[in-house]
Amino acid sequence: MIHPDEEKAALREKASVTAVSIGITVVLIVTKIVVGLLTGSLAILSYAADSLLDLVASIITFLSVRWSHKPPDTEHPYGHGRIESFSALLQIILLVLTSVLIVREALFRMGHADVVVHANIVAFGTTILSILVDAWRSSILQRTARKFRSPALEANAVNFRMDMLTSATVLIGLIGVRLNFTGADNYAAIAVAAMVFLAAMKLGWGVVETLMDRAPEEIVREVREIAAAIPGVLRCQSVRVRTSGSRVLVDMAIAISRTLSLEQAHQITHDAEERIRERFPLSDIVIHPDAVKTEEEGPVDHIRLIVQQMGLTAHDIQLEQLDKEWLAELHLEVPPAISMVEAHEMADAIEARVLREIPKLTAVGMHIEPIPDVIKAVNATEGSQSLKSGIAALAGQIPGIKGLREIEIRADGQKLHVWVRCLVSPEVPVEEAHLLSEKLESRIRTRYPKIRKILVRTEPAGN
């Protein structure tokens, strides 16, 4: 979900920029009409008419921006952002209408030579002022449009950028009049109309693609790169992105190891969402984790995964090779209160699934034992130097682990419980430290399958 504070900040900035643009447009309209009437310049009067439409477009933009930030509801679960695209479409229609009216009036004047244009200093001053003002506000609008990916503001920015260029064309027409070039003002007006029409067509194509949910390639690429960089993400399976006003709607699937727990999978997707939202603050993101088999996953990991998926735990998982046959044995941990019939059914279900999913195994042997609430253990750290050295060597093989602070080993009869405190760089994010601890735990289990419980804690080095 989009944070309410980010939504309010975006609305405030977009609305303020649009309001300033409306105020400037009103001042320019009055100035252009007065100067156009005094000089008789069709180019200036046509530009004043265009500014009237600019005012209408700016008001539409202002209203659509405010409307687009209404929160989603039951009838509009993706929000109201598309109103900005319709606002941009309406502005395009106004641009096309403006160009048609300008051409019509220019052609009419070409057939009436009695129309006199006064290319005086007032006309030149007004046109130059328009160029400077439009350059400034189109820049502000474009910057804000890019920041919030707002089609309504982008349409407004394009509109004023075209106004700036057409003002330059008007200026050329006035210069032509001063040089006694007959019809210069009319030709300048037609050039204005052509530029407005072309800009409208280009902008219109982009708006139509947005309304048709065309995937924005740049955003899709960035989302893929951000997600792929998250520790634990193996690859991006699919990425679907569409825009709704300033909102970016992301629907994607990522591949993660199927040996990860539900909590670990949730943490990875959460980290991916947060990183994407840092880049695209006004985004609504749905990430589906696809659990896949990895190259590092062996038969022991596969068996442990099957047991976990059945809602149980196991220890002392081992493989045995007997001539050309492979056997598996494990200690299945079950709740102490269930009946032997229930425990036997659980064991049978696990055995059947293991043999079905790991074809090279020909038999599975299981010892069923209860999980006690309290385990009576003794400290076996001092007498387990070989095990400690082996764990330290495994930790040294993992890039990112700076060393071990402590290894504590306890014995519960013949079963071992190991606590490891490993050191990582203080700057490492929590999600990366968590995955390092999972990697160390996995390697310890593979190397020492008789260890019943392993707990790895990561701590910042230097503390």
Tell me how far CA of residue 194 lies from CA of 2, 95, 162, 175, 187, in angstroms: 41, 11, 10, 20, 11
Tell me how far CA of residue 312 lies from CA of 36, 215, 334, 368, in angstroms: 85, 44, 6, 11
**pLDDT (0 to 100) of residue 350:** 94
Residue 251's beta-bridge partner residues?
240, 286
Higher pLDDT, 371 or 349: 349
Higher pLDDT, 420 or 295: 420
State the Cα–Cα distance between residues 419 and 455, nearest whole angstrom.
5
Q: Mean pLDDT throughout 411-416?
A: 77
The set of residues, in sequence order, having a beta carbon less than 8 Å from that of 5 and lying 6+ positions away, is none
**pLDDT (0 to 100) of residue 453:** 82
Q: Mean pLDDT throughout 187-194?
A: 76
Higher pLDDT, 134 or 408: 408
Q: Can you count the helices (H) and strands (E) in the chain? A: 12, 10
Which of the given ranges, 129-143, 154-168, 388-402, 434-448, has the highest pLDDT on average?
Answer: 388-402
Within 13 A of 5's CA, how many CA atoms are on the CB side?
Answer: 0
Q: For residue 288, what pLDDT band results from cuts at 50, 70 and 90?
A: very high
* pLDDT tens figures, 76-132: 777 777 777 787 888 788 778 877 877 887 787 676 655 555 566 766 777 788 788
Q: Mean pLDDT throughout 173-179?
A: 74
State the Cα–Cα distance between residues 412 and 209, nearest whole angstrom.
66
* Helix, strand, or coil (residue 195): helix
* pLDDT tens figures, 236-264: 988 998 877 667 889 999 999 888 877 78
Mean pLDDT (the chain, rounded): 81
Q: For residue 356, what pLDDT band results from cuts at 50, 70 and 90?
A: very high
Helix axes 121-148, 4-39, angle to 10 degrees: 160
Which domains, and CATH codes, for the chain?
A: 4-211 (1.20.1510.10), 217-292 (3.30.70.1350), 299-369 (3.30.70.1350), 378-460 (3.30.70.1350)
The set of residues, in sequence order, having a beta carbon less than 8 Å from that of 184 and lying 6+ positions away, is 172, 173, 174, 175, 176, 177
Helix axes 299-309, 340-357, angle to 10 degrees: 140
In percent, the amount of the chain with pLDDT more than 70 equals 88
